[in-house]
């Protein structure tokens, strides 16, 4: 790929051509060796750690009971900015940093904007629609990521990956079935049409943000990507708070419990954002979103511990179903687009691309 710093969506799509082997069918010819490698174990465990972090943000948000979703995430973006950006300036020099801002900013603005809006609309939708609708509509992120990956990153999926996606979604369906089975009030909704629309918009924003972040973390240094997400996320959040949340903030009375929950939320979000950037170098935005589907099960565990909410017998089955789907998805490691590092001219497929190494077994 050209090492020029300017490009558009068309060049992004054409430059991310899929690596494929003429000897391997894109549908069949399964190879089970990868699921016994250390790399696969790392991907699975990191994905579940991120799912747990995501669950922690949901639980702390529910406990906070405040309606300022953008303000709630502002500290996370600001910390990413002040932690990562000084290191970027040190590495590039001030002139190099300004050059990077000139050439690369639009990509980070797109990622930050869609991420901020995803956070805002999903949290806001809790106010209007039912939990059942949210769980169903939030699953829209997965096909949205798949669509964006095919269009912009030129990714092609095999039969086992389509099957794994379906089994993961079935796992989420079992969670919902379990909620209905134990008689939860899943249908209460203040304004279901408005809430469902917010949930769809939020899930769509997350999908777009994840795919473009996958491209950027495989192309640029992680400290640059995280620092720029933090900077533009802070800038966009401040503008949005001024327009949408200033009245709520004027009437907000902070307590020690709220401060503690905000700190816990911020720590979980920082772990999530840093972990995502590493995960997207090892795997893909689609597999990341599939991994997050186990978060429903972790949420139920939190509810059982904190408020003794009953658990259906289907919940463990749902969790195992989702894990099974993740394993089936990786019977063959997914194809990743070849993306050239602009900072060292080293193609990702030589350093980041997942390769099946028969000697890289768990028992080594």
Contact 347, 340 (CB under 8 A): yes
The CA-CA-CA angle for residues 266, 267, 273, to 5°, reads 85
Contact 46, 217 (CB under 8 A): no
Mean pLDDT of the region 117-130: 82
- At 134, is the pLDDT very low, low, confident or very high (cuts 50, 70, 90)? low
Per-residue model confidence as pLDDT tens digits over 262-303: 999 999 999 999 999 999 998 888 889 888 877 777 777 776
Q: Which residues, listed in sequence order, are joined to residue 361 by a DSSP beta bridge? A: 37
Per-residue model confidence as pLDDT tens digits over 52-77: 998 888 788 878 878 888 999 999 99
Contact 203, 4 (CB under 8 A): no
Q: What is the DSSP string of 3-34?
A: --S---HHHHHHHSPBP--TTS-SSS---GGG
pLDDT given for residue 242 in this prediction: 95
Contacts of 252 (CB under 8 A, 6+ apart): 66, 68
Q: What is the DSSP string of 218-258?
A: TTS-HHHHHHHHHHHHHHHHHHHHHHHTHHHHHT----HHH
Cα 203 off chain centre by? 10
CA distance 263 to 23: 52
Mean pLDDT of the region 16-20: 46
Residue 314, CA atoms < 13 Å, CB-side half-sphere? 14
pLDDT given for residue 34 in this prediction: 64
Cα 76 off chain centre by? 15
Contacts of 8 (CB under 8 A, 6+ apart): none
Q: Which residues, listed in sequence order, are joined to residue 340 by a DSSP beta bridge? A: 347
Instruction: Tell me which of 31-45, 227-241, 348-362 is least confident.
Output: 348-362
Contact 132, 181 (CB under 8 A): no
pLDDT given for residue 29 in this prediction: 53
Structure tokens belonging to residue 5: 């710093």
Q: Is the pLDDT higher at 358 or at 113?
A: 113
Structure tokens belonging to residue 77: 């973006």
pLDDT given for residue 131 in this prediction: 62
Q: What is the DSSP string of 58-89?
A: HHHHHHH--S-HHHHHHHHHHHHHHHHHHHHH
- At 359, is the pLDDT very low, low, confident or very high (cuts 50, 70, 90)? very low
Residue 346 has pLDDT above 80, yes or no: no
Other beta carbons within 10 Å of 115: 24
**In the chain, what is the straight-line distance between the N-terminal and C-terminal CA atoms, in Å?**
36
Q: Indicate the average pLDDT of the chain.
A: 78
């Amino acid at each position: 790929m050209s090492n020029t710093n300017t490009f558009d969506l068309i060049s992004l799509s054409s430059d991310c051509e899929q690596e494929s082997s003429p000897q391997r069918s894109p549908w069949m010819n399964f190879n089970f060796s990868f699921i016994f490698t250390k790399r696969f174990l790392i991907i699975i465990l990191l994905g579940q750690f991120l799912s747990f972090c995501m669950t922690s943000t949901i639980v702390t948000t529910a406990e906070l009971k405040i309606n300022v979703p953008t303000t709630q995430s502002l500290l996370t973006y600001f910390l990413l900015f002040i932690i990562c950006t000084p290191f970027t300036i040190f590495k590039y020099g001030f002139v190099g940093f300004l050059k990077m801002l000139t050439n690369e900013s639009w990509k980070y603005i797109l990622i930050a904007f869609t991420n901020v809006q995803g956070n805002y609309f999903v949290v806001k939708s809790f106010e209007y629609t039912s939990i059942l609708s949210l769980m169903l509509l939030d699953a829209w992120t997965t096909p949205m990521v798949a669509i964006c990956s095919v269009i912009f990153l030129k990714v092609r999926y095999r039969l086992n990956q389509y099957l794994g996606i379906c089994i993961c979604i079935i796992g989420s369906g079992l969670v919902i079935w379990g909620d209905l089975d134990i008689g939860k009030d899943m249908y209460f909704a203040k304004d279901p049409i408005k809430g469902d629309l917010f949930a769809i918009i939020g899930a769509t924003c997350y999908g777009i943000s994840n795919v473009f972040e996958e491209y950027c973390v495989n192309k640029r240094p992680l400290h640059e990507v995280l620092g720029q997400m933090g900077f533009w996320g802070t800038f966009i959040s401040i503008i949005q708070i001024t327009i949408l949340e200033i009245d709520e903030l004027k009437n907000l009375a902070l307590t020690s419990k709220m401060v503690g929950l905000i700190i816990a939320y911020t720590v979980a979000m920082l772990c999530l954002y840093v972990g995502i950037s590493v995960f997207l170098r090892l795997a893909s935005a689609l597999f990341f979103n599939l991994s997050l589907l186990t978060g429903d099960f972790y949420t139920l565990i939190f509810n059982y511990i904190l408020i003794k909410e009953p658990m259906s017998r289907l919940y463990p089955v749902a969790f195992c179903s989702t894990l099974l789907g993740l394993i089936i998805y990786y019977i063959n490691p997914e194809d990743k687009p070849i993306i050239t590092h602009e900072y060292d001219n080293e193609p990702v497929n030589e350093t980041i691309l997942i390769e099946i190494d028969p000697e890289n077994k768990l028992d080594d």
